[in-house]
């Protein structure tokens, strides 16, 4: 259920001695969920509308607009989400292939793709588009993802996808492996982040901005975090144990847990 080309996601954080579940709907945004709720007759009545859920928005911009490593870690300020630019109704640039308002053109020209966004959520590292767990300095993130950390800490790790992937191609040590999955229609719009369970309130501490037009358009708070927050909160919940244990159920009788590994 829930990541789009703009990457919205439903995040269920772990109860004790269990694994977190990240459910991503690639290609969905606020209007997708609203349309589905209208069809089902459940506007405001979906499971994620319940009081136990934290509802925020999430920005998803990449490190830069390159499709290959530029060998530095400098954030391109142009792609950082700017609500005023995103919703601008000013006349857009007149150029071949360009259309729509200035806001629409901004969102289409500063987008993240699924690879870069997934890398940010999995590792807490912003990178270039087309990159799967590969840093902009040309080095891999092997062993650094939250899935690998979870596995080291005794969690079960797996993935189910309906997106088609081409076979991975080994280009040798130190080189970006060749892999592609089919994706299009990206934008830089904020997307839904629905959170429930241990650590959910931690996201409120990581709010980086407010989008007043999004708030009015979709009847939401407008507060948003960035996608690297998914890694931070999950990593802390699994490894550093910073979540409030009073919010979660006690472990089953007789259960044990091994040492934490960072």
Query: Using one digit for the tens of pLDDT, what is the confidence trace for 108-164?
Result: 888 888 888 889 999 999 999 888 888 999 889 888 888 888 888 777 787 776 655
Q: For residue 61, give the 3-state DSSP assignment.
A: coil
CA distance 125 to 137: 11
* Closest to 115 measured CA to CA, from 67, 171, 51: 67
Please check the confidence at residue 195 and state whether its pLDDT lies above 60. Answer: yes
Please check the confidence at residue 165 and state whether its pLDDT lies above 90. Answer: no
129: left (phi over 0), alpha (psi -120 to 50) or beta: beta
Please check the confidence at residue 249 and state whether its pLDDT lies above 60. Answer: no
CA distance 239 to 230: 14
Identify whether the C-beta of residue 86 lies closer than 8 Å to the C-beta of residue 107. Answer: yes
More confident position, 18 or 199? 199
- Weakest mean pLDDT among 53-57, 161-165, 217-221: 161-165
Q: What is the DSSP letter of 214?
A: H
Please check the confidence at residue 197 and state whether its pLDDT lies above 90. Answer: no
* Closest to 144 measured CA to CA, from 129, 125, 166, 126: 125
- Weakest mean pLDDT among 16-20, 60-64, 98-102, 204-208: 16-20
Split at pLDDT 50, 70, 90, the class of 11 is low
């Amino acid at each position: 259920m829930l990541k789009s080309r703009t990457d919205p996601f439903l995040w269920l954080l772990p109860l004790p001695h269990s694994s977190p579940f990240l459910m991503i709907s690639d290609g969905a945004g606020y209007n997708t969920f609203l349309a589905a709720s209208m069809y089902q007759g459940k506007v405001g009545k979906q499971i994620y509308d319940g009081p136990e859920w934290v509802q925020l928005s999430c920005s998803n911009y990449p490190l830069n607009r390159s499709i290959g490593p530029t060998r530095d870690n400098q954030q391109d300020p142009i792609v950082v989400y700017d609500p005023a630019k995103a919703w601008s109704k000013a006349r857009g640039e007149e150029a071949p292939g360009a259309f729509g308002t200035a806001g629409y053109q901004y969102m289409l020209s500063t987008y993240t793709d699924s690879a870069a966004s997934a890398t940010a959520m999995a590792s807490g590292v912003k990178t270039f588009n087309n990159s799967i767990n590969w840093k902009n300095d040309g080095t891999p993130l092997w062993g650094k993802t939250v899935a690998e950390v979870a596995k080291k800490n005794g969690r079960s790790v797996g993935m189910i996808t309906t997106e088609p992937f081409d076979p991975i191609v080994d280009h040798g040590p130190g080189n970006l492996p060749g892999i592609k999955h089919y994706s299009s229609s990206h934008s830089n719009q904020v997307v839904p982040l629905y959170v429930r369970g241990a650590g959910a309130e931690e996201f409120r501490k990581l709010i980086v901005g407010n989008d007043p037009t999004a708030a009015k358009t979709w009847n939401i708070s407008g507060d948003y975090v960035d996608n690297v927050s998914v890694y931070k909160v999950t990593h802390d919940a699994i490894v550093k144990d910073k979540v409030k244990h009073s919010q979660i159920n006690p472990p089953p009788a007789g259960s044990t847990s091994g040492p934490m590994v960072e």
